[in-house]
Amino acid sequence: MPAECLVRITDVNFAYDDRAILKGVDMEIPRGKLIAIMGNSGCGKTTLLRLIGGQLKPTSGEILVDGQSVPRMTHDELYAMRRRMGMLFQFGALFTDISVYDNVAYLMREHTNLSEELIQDMVLMKLNAVGLRGAHHLMPAELSGGMARRVALARAIALDPMLIMYDEPFAGLDPISMGVIGQLVRKLNDALGATTLLVTHDVQEALLIVDYVYFVSDGQIVAQGTPDEIRASTDPFVHQFVFGEADGPVRFHYPAPPFGEELTRRAAHA
């Protein structure tokens, strides 16, 4: 794998029993870049993250992370690889019974032999990076939605990962919090020299911060390009998705006979 490519997905197929989720997906994630994966609900975006993290194995195809085949890794190899990945789950998924400080410290205590004194310095550094050093003593229940998401972001970067994955980081946030999270995702990617994969529905926010976009529909990559290329795309699906149009390739109406015919038929049987 070329040095500039951190993640390469080649002809990946994945299915739950007979239900196909991904069909022949090819993707390349360059080092140091922020890449968005977009698409409608159920199209396979989160499944891609799970395949890259080794939670799932593809039905066929190859997934390379830093030159190593994720599906072929042993348990120990996969555990070691995950130490180099950060994950921000949808809605944050903080541990509710421990403080903000201990949420961020958790990975450091689990995966390193650092002294508690050094862990304290690192935790406060990560919290300071997301603007919440002063909230280290609070419990998750005392945080707003935007603050909780920022704590989850601090936890995701706790071990300075080479790859950071975000699953719908903007979900449920107000416009101000959404803008804050978006800018933090961009700044932290650049400051850490990391590579970022962003799964999101929030097209306009994502296009402000990402370097490249993959659009997924029905388990396949249907379009890709830079933010400017995506905005200018004439592809019907991309145009509908970017501009939030009610009708297009993704239909507003569920398939049904013409309404006039149905009314006539009902009247005839009345």
- pLDDT, tens only, 111-139: 888 899 999 999 999 899 888 888 899 99
pLDDT band at residue 251 using 50, 70 and 90 as cut-offs: low
For β-strands 60-65 and 195-199, DSSP reports them as unpaired
* Whole-number pLDDT of residue 248: 59
Q: Percent of the chain having pLDDT more than 70?
A: 92
Q: Can you tell me the distance from the alpha carbon of 155 to that of 96, in angstroms, rounded to the nearest whole number?
A: 14
Instruction: Assign a CATH topology to domain 5-84+161-268.
Output: Rossmann fold (3.40.50)
* Whole-number pLDDT of residue 1: 43
Residue 173 near residue 148, CB atoms below 8 Å: no
Name the segment(s) of the chain with CATH classification 3.40.50.300.
Answer: 5-84+161-268
This prediction's pTM: 0.80
Residue found under tokens 């990076």: 129
* Whole-number pLDDT of residue 255: 65
pLDDT above 70 for 246: no
pLDDT above 80 for 260: no
What is the crossing angle of helices 100-111 and 116-129, to 10°?
Answer: 130
